[in-house]
Amino acid sequence: RLTGDIVLKAARVGIPIVASLAAALDSGVEIARRADLTLIGFVRGKRMNVYHHPERILLSQ
C-alpha cells in the first residue's frame, strides 16, 4: 500500500513518480499532492489508477 510514510520518504529524496500494485491510502494521496509527486496505484499492465499528475504518464499503443 502507498501510505503517507512511504510517499513522504519518496518525496524527501526527490523521486517524482511512485507506483504500486496495491492501493494508495488517503494520506499518501494527500502527501503526493502537497509534494507535487505523481502517485499510481493498482498497476496491472496498461491499467492503473493515477492519483496525481496523470499527464506525466504516457502509454504506448
Q: What is the pLDDT along the chain (61 residues), one digit of tens a residue?
A: 999 999 999 999 999 999 999 999 999 999 999 999 999 999 998 899 999 888 899 887 6
**Angstrom distance (rounded) from CA 35 to CA 12:** 9
Pairwise CA distance, residues 14 & 29, whole Å? 16
* CA contacts within 13 A on the Cβ side of 17: 12
Q: By CB neighbour count within 10 A (0-12 exposed, 13-18 middle, 19+ buried), where does 31 fall?
A: buried
Domain limits of the chain? 4-56
Spatial CA neighbour of 25 closest among 7, 47, 11? 7
| Separation between Cα atoms, residue 41 and residue 19, nearest integer Å | 6
